[in-house]
Amino acid sequence: MKNKKTYIGIAIAIVLVFVVWRFFSGTVGDSFDIFADVKQGSFRVEITSSGELEALNSVEILGPLEARRFRVNNITIESMVDEGTIVKQGDVIAELDKSELFGRLDDKRIDLEQSRAQYEQIQLDTSLVLRQERDNISNLEYNVQERKLVLEQSQFEPPAIIKQNEYNLEKAERDLDQARERYRVKRLQERARMVEISARVRENENELAQMQEVLEKFTVKAPQNGMVIYQSGRGGKIKAGSQISSWNPVVATLPDLSRMRSVTYINEVDIRKIKIGQAVEIGLDAFPDKRLSGKVTRVANIGQQRPNSDAKVFEVVIEVNESDASLRPAMTTSNTIIVDRIEDVKYVPLEAINVHNDSINYVFLKNGAKQEVLLGLANLNDIVIEMGLNEGDRVFLSTPDWAKDAPVKLLADLDGKRRKIMEETSEVPEQPESNQGEERTERRRGRQ
């Protein structure tokens, strides 16, 4: 029994020693070596940037534009719904201070009462004056008839008396004609006064009605469905207690949440790669699992300098294809702009590429070769290998111990091109192998 336990213990010890030996023998030599496989397939050149969502279309919610007609220049917001409130068409957005317009309204009522009183007074005056003129005309008509009768009865009187009666008749007729003309002119004068005062009455009535209509607009309502976004002014965002100008009475904006866009800024180094119509993959910081698509719709022609940054950037607008109820203005987005896509190509990580004498790009293969490669397009992580590697090859991402003395296995197809480059850069001293890490970094920056 003791022998059996001894044998079992020896067997376990042997197994442990074997496992430890296999573990350390397989890792000691490669403990600091990192490898990557040469992959073949679809390769994308992309530019990533963060952006901010905003509505593609938005409607401004306005206070009463007509207030300036009644000398109401600044209007105070008494109350207002919270920013981000979802409203329906016709819902109350804000209540504006009506006190100043109330004062103008009272003044206009007084003006209207005065003009109506003047109209009534002129009516009475006109009636009295014209009645007097008509009475005068009637009296003159009687006088003319009387003078005619006297003339007819004086046919047998001396000629002097007859002549005198004729003069009296002519004078009476002339007085009658003058009275009738005076009556006609008086009627025109009084009618003009009536028209003037009645026009003033109508003007006051119309202005009073317009004031009452404007007064209703001091209760600001939503013109359509949407989310309320406060308008930014000189003192910050407009809210309850703020003042708006009657020349620009924007209280808030109502974005159309069914169509959104992401506004991002691209570095001046990469902006030449961005074109209108390029596809974009959009992620949301608020919803990491949600993925959206979009396309570039506008690229700014003039750069600008963002706050707290020395680099110049260009504004790029990306329209979101999908309509999602969870999207909100000012949400942060991660935008991946697809600059180019190549099918069925070989590529490796950028860290695998080394540069010799600024003219020869090469990689370290796991089989011990220092292989020259012809590079193609690159993105943030990988680079296309046009010549020099096969799918499935394994390359070092770190510098192996044997790299210093190993010669570069050159590609015969690049000999002519390589010689030309080396002749153009013959004055540049060869960089030592110890700077390969820095060379990889510089190469990666250049490809990006």
**Contact yes or no for 447/383 (Cβ under 8 A):** yes
Assess contact for 337 and 319: CB atoms under 8 A. no
Residues 209, 229: Cα–Cα separation, whole Å: 32
The span from the CA of 93 to the CA of 60, in Å, is: 12
Beta bridge partners of 295: 279, 319
Give start and end residues of each alpha helix (H) in 28-98: none
Give the separation between CA 347 and CA 389, rounded to whole angstroms.
9
CB-CB neighbours of 373 under 10 Å: 25
- Are the C-beta atoms of 246 and 64 separated by less than 8 Å? yes
Q: Helices 159-217 and 99-153: crossing angle, nearest 10°?
A: 170
| Residues in a beta bridge with 361 | 355
Phi, psi of 13 (to 5 degrees): -65, -40
- In CATH terms, the fold of domain 65-97+218-248 is OB fold (Dihydrolipoamide Acetyltransferase, E2P) (2.40.50)
DSSP 8-state assignment for residue 365? B
Same topology, domains 47-56+257-343 and 65-97+218-248? Answer is no
Report the Cα 160 to chain-centroid distance in Å. Answer: 103
- Return left, alpha or beta for 358; rule: phi > 0 is left, psi -120 to 50 is alpha, else beta: left
E-strand ranges in 83-139 read: 86-87, 92-96
Phi, psi dihedrals of residue 375, rounded to the nearest 5°: -90, 150
Determine phi and psi for 34, rounding to 5 degrees. -120, 130
What pLDDT does residue 313 have? 92
| pLDDT number for residue 13 | 67
Residue 280 is predicted with a pLDDT of: 95
Amino acid at residue number 129: V
Domain boundaries, the chain: 47-56+257-343, 65-97+218-248, 101-215, 344-418
CATH architecture of 47-56+257-343: Beta Barrel (2.40)
pLDDT at 169: 87
Q: How many beta carbons lie within 10 A of that of residue 387, not counting itself? A: 13
Angstrom distance (rounded) from CA 430 to CA 420: 16
For every residue of 138-167, DSSP letters joined together read HHHHHHHHHHHHHHHHTTTS-HHHHHHHHH
What is the DSSP code (8-state) at residue 5?
H
- Which is nearest to 280 in space by CA: 59, 69, 47, 61? 47
Q: Which residue carries 């490796």 as its tokens? A: 348
Apex CA 288: angle with CA 287 and CA 290, to 5°? 70
The Cα 247–Cα 251 span in angstroms is 12
Residue 45 buriedness (CB in 10 A; 0-12 / 13-18 / 19+): buried
pLDDT given at position 174: 92
Tokens of 370: 């220092």
Residues 6+ apart with CB under 8 A from 364: 352, 354, 370, 371, 395, 396, 399, 400, 403
**Alpha-carbon distance 10 to 295, whole Å?**
70
What is the chain's pLDDT, residue by residue, as a tens digit (448 residues)? 545 566 566 667 676 766 555 554 444 444 467 889 999 999 988 899 999 998 888 888 888 877 777 777 788 888 888 888 888 888 888 888 888 878 888 888 888 888 889 888 888 888 888 899 899 989 989 998 988 888 888 888 888 888 898 898 899 899 989 989 998 998 898 888 888 888 888 888 888 888 888 888 888 888 888 888 887 766 678 878 888 877 778 888 888 888 899 999 999 888 998 999 999 999 999 898 999 999 999 999 998 887 777 788 999 999 999 988 888 888 999 999 999 888 999 999 999 999 887 778 999 998 888 899 999 888 888 999 999 898 889 999 888 888 777 888 888 877 756 655 555 544 333 333 334 444 444 444 444 4
| 344-418 CATH fold | 2.40.420
Burial of 403 (C-beta count, 10 Å sphere; 0-12/13-18/19+): middle
Amino acid at 352: A
